[in-house]
Amino acid sequence: MNEETTADAASRRSFRLHNATVPARPVEPALYLVATPIGNLGDITLRALETLAGADVLACEDTRVTRVLLDRYGIQNRPFAYHEHNADEAGPRLLQALEAGRSVALVSDAGTPLVSDPGYRLAQQAIAAGYRVIPIPGASAPLAALVGSGLPNDAFLFAGFLPAKDKARRDRLGELAAAPATLIFFESPHRIGATLLAAADVLGGARPASVCRELTKTYEEFRRGTLADLAAHYQQVENVKGEIVLVIGPPEPVETDEADVEAMLADLSKSMPTAGAATEAARLTGLPRKVLYQRLLEIKNADGR
């Protein structure tokens, strides 16, 4: 983040659209969270281009990735690396720039900053210090997957990445089983098969889902079906490639009598531990796992077990 003259700054504050060079106005001092394309570079917004070209400081996860976008639109601003491995050093420098009255634009490698990336920490620090934090909206993989999945979008829950280990993954799915919303996860291609198997077991194989792969890119794919069908498909596919968003529909509402629920819990607890019985009951009834877990503890205490 070297100092530059006013003339130097003015000369680089422009971007290119087709064959036209467009001047970019200087950006007011603030931290700007700028969404960038998740694949197709044409998905950038005009406001994002002007912010990237006009900001005093441009911070990004990987300068090589961001440079591709900047070169596409003729932006001369030099990107400054800010990522999880250098946040302790780079973060204070960016805050110092804000303190000096400069504008800072933050981008991730793709999509909207702060969504499953280290920018959240910087934004928190900037807010705590009293600086303006301004979102520049645009591309978002979770939203693109949701609207393309064909699943209900009136209520949804983005849960990031599931744990890599099977037990932790299943526990997390059990916690979310009864959430009255469409679930959205990021997943790696080499784990999608195992994740779908776990989801089918924990949430029920009949639950609708969509595997959304390579969004906005040349080989974009939406594979829709039940969790059981998708799990069976990906057990047969070798070398799955590309970035994946998994979207799972909400549970069907189930009306259950309290006495029936207690009988189910008591029966399940005969063959599995308390936590497992509560998870299975949540899957079967659609009721919150924590409520069922607490009720089962009360039943066991009443029975003196």
Residue 151 has pLDDT above 90, yes or no: yes
* Alpha carbons 102 and 99: distance in angstroms, whole number: 7
Scored b (16 or more CB within 10 A) or e, 135-168 reads ebebbbbbbbbbebbebeeeebebbeebeeeeee
Mean pLDDT across the chain: 91
**Position with higher pLDDT, 280 vs 23:** 23
What pLDDT digit, counting tens, does each position of 93-117 carry?
A: 999 999 999 999 999 999 999 887 7
* Alpha carbons 268 and 283: distance in angstroms, whole number: 12
Same fold yes or no, 6-139 and 142-248: no
Residue 159 has pLDDT above 90, yes or no: yes
**Position with higher pLDDT, 126 vs 252:** 126
The CATH code that applies to domain 142-248 is 3.30.950.10
What is the pLDDT at residue 207?
A: 95
**Alpha helices (runs of H) in the chain, residue ranges in sequence order:** 6-12, 46-54, 63-72, 87-99, 119-128, 141-149, 166-176, 192-203, 227-236, 258-268, 274-285, 289-303
* Alpha carbons 281 and 127: distance in angstroms, whole number: 42
Residue 11 has pLDDT above 60, yes or no: no
* Alpha carbons 95 and 126: distance in angstroms, whole number: 7
What is the pLDDT at residue 258?
A: 81
Once rounded to an integer, what is the mean pLDDT over residues 240-264?
87
Once rounded to an integer, what is the mean pLDDT over residues 132-156?
97
What separation, in Å, do the N-terminal and C-terminal C-alpha atoms of the chain show? 65
Give Rg (Cα) of the chain. Answer: 24
Joined together, the tokens standing for residue 39 give 């694949």
Query: Under 8 Å CB-to-CB from 50, ≥6 apart: which residues?
Result: 15, 22, 24, 25, 27
What is the pLDDT at residue 67?
A: 97
What is the pLDDT at residue 3?
A: 52
Q: Where are the domains of the chain?
A: 6-139, 142-248, 258-303
Q: Position of tokens 């259950």?
A: 256
What is the pLDDT at residue 203?
A: 93
What is the pLDDT at residue 4?
A: 52
What is the pLDDT at residue 209?
A: 98
Angle at 298 between CA 296 and CA 302, to 5 degrees: 120
Residue 5 has pLDDT above 60, yes or no: no
Q: Is 6-139 in CATH node 3.40.1010.10?
A: yes
